[in-house]
Amino acid sequence: MSLNVVTLVGRVGGDPDVRRFDSGSIKCSLTLAVNRRSKNNEQPDWFKIEIWGKPAEVAEKWVNKGSLIGVKGSLKFETWV
């Protein structure tokens, strides 16, 4: 059995970008800075987050740059050459 579940808690890097589609779908895109538990004060890991549907509507209303949020979802890696 394999499982792709991730939970992240961090600060939003910029105001979310919300898009509404003709189909009625809504997508909220944002970046999330997550600090590692380290004494070396490393740079944070940055994640591009996509939120769809009702949770996207909530994020549109309540999430701003610098907000501390938690997200739970799955990871998808994309590569461009």
What single string gives the DSSP state of each residue in the chain? Answer: -----EEEEEEESS--EEEE-TTS-EEEEEEEEE--S-TT-PPPEEEEEEEESHHHHHHHHH--TT-EEEEEE--------
**18 vs 2, higher pLDDT:** 18
- pLDDT higher than 90, residue 1: no
Average pLDDT over residues 2-23: 96
Q: How far apart are alpha carbons 60 and 2 in whole angstroms? A: 32
**28 vs 41, higher pLDDT:** 28
* Residue-level pLDDT at 72: 96
| pLDDT tens-digit map of 30-72 | 999 999 887 777 889 999 999 999 999 999 999 999 999 999 9
Does the pTM of the predicted model rise above 0.75? yes
Which domains, and CATH codes, for the chain?
A: 6-36+43-68 (2.40.50.140)
